[in-house]
């Protein structure tokens, strides 16, 4: 059984005006997601501002998410770090908290070799019993997991099961899936603009920013594809593109936190070095949301 199939939301972390985590609003956001068809919650990823959470906050947010979700959908805990020891600790704490799987990003800034990546992810995976989904996002980390390296780890490490592919490089993704052959490699798109192409390559779904404000539609892109309605899936993907572009008009999660505020969630607060969305980009975002059919508060 895969960790999940369909649209998993890379959920934002609401914060109070003093920049502490707003758990009441987080609970509302989790419920909104599940009620609108989200297939999994991915907590403390990039969209969840994991880079500016303290290690204790990181674990506390994961634990709260697991407890509030209460097995309604799978919870995947972001547990990566550029320190292998820290990544191991976060992974073990995520397991203790009851997460269903972990999402482990490539070590950022260090720019490890491919052999270094193998040793890093193997050490993380062997420290827990949970399934591990690799997270390859070279634009953020300065480090790319090559297709051969992914396949090697899925083959050799029993609980490294899949990858969130945010490379934006379909040729690389195609090569990875070709090399995987019959291996049960669970592929998830890490790019909202490439959901349908990734599904066509054998993907199981998406780990999505778009899902924060359009959970049903993002779920439906995947569900229609799996049901054989490729045309319907493609039409929804096309319709979402202006909104997806607006959600990345500035670095994630700046626009999506503003978008959540625009539909009635208290999500404007964001930790430095990230800042509030520029007014010109907000106007584009509002238009894209309205054109997509999202009612603003």
Q: What is the pLDDT of residues 1-27, one digit of tens each?
A: 999 999 999 999 999 999 999 999 999
Q: Give the tokens for residue 237.
A: 């993907």
Determine which one of 135, 188, 224, 257 is catalytic: 135
How many CA atoms are closer than 13 Å to the CA of 16, on its beta-carbon side? 6
Structure confidence at residue 297 (pLDDT): 87
Structure confidence at residue 184 (pLDDT): 94
Determine which one of 5, 164, 224, 257 is catalytic: 164
Residues 6 or more apart whose Cβ sits within 8 Å of residue 289: 213, 243, 246, 259, 262, 263, 296
Q: Are 9 and 33 in contact (CB under 8 A)?
A: yes
**Residue 253, preceding peptide bond in cis (omega within 30° of 0):** yes
% pLDDT > 90, the chain: 99
% pLDDT > 70, the chain: 100
Q: Give the tokens for residue 245.
A: 């572009």
Structure confidence at residue 137 (pLDDT): 96
The three-class DSSP label of residue 274 is: coil
Q: What is the pLDDT of residues 236-261, one digit of tens each?
A: 999 999 999 999 999 999 999 999 99
Residues 6 or more apart whose Cβ sits within 8 Å of residue 71: none
Q: What is the pLDDT of residues 163-176, one digit of tens each?
A: 999 999 999 999 99
Residue 164 annotated among the catalytic residues of the structure: yes
Q: What is the mean pLDDT of residues 137-160?
A: 96
Indicate yes or no: pTM above 0.85.
Answer: yes
DSSP-derived letter for residue 208 is: E
Relative to beta strand 205-208, strand 186-189 is parallel
> Going from the N-terminus, what domains does the chain have, and what CATH number goes with each?
6-229 (3.20.20.70)
Whether residue 273 has pLDDT greater than 90: yes
205 has which bridge partners? Answer: 6, 188
Q: Are 287 and 280 in contact (CB under 8 A)?
A: no
Mean pLDDT, the chain, rounded, equals: 97
The CA distance from 132 to 220, in Å, is 26
Q: What is the mean pLDDT of residues 130-150?
A: 96
Residue 257 annotated among the catalytic residues of the structure: no
The three-class DSSP label of residue 155 is: helix
């Amino acid at each position: 059984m895969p960790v999940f199939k369909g649209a998993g939301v890379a959920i934002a972390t609401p914060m109070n005006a003093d920049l502490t985590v707003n758990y009441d609003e987080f609970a509302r956001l989790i419920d909104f997601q599940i009620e609108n068809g989200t297939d999994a919650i991915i907590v403390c990823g990039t969209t969840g501002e994991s880079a500016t959470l303290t290690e204790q906050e990181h674990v506390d947010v994961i634990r709260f998410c697991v407890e509030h979700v209460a097995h309604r959908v799978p919870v995947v805990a972001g547990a990566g770090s550029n320190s292998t020891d820290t990544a191991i600790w976060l992974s073990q704490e995520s397991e203790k908290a009851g997460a269903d799987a972990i999402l482990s990003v490539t070590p950022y800034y260090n720019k490890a070799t491919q052999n270094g990546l193998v040793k890093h992810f193997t050490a993380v995976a062997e420290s827990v019993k949970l399934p591990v989904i690799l997270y390859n996002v070279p634009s953020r980390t300065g480090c790319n997991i090559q297709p051969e390296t992914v396949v090697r780890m899925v083959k050799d490490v029993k609980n490294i099961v899949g990858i969130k592919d945010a490379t934006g490089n379909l040729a690389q993704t195609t090569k990875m899936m070709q090399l995987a052959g019959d291996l049960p490699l669970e592929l998830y798109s890490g790019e909202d603009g490439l959901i349908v192409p990734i599904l066509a390559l054998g993907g199981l779904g998406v780990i999505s920013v778009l899902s924060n404000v359009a959970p049903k539609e993002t779920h439906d892109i995947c569900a229609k594809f799996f049901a054989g309605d490729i045309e319907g899936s493609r039409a929804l993907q096309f319709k979402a593109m202006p909104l997806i572009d607006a959600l990345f008009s500035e670095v994630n999660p700046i626009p999506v936190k503003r978008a959540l505020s625009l539909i009635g969630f208290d999500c404007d607060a964001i930790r430095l070095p990230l800042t509030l969305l520029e007014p010109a980009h907000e106007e584009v975002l509002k238009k894209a949301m309205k054109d997509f059919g999202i009612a603003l508060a």
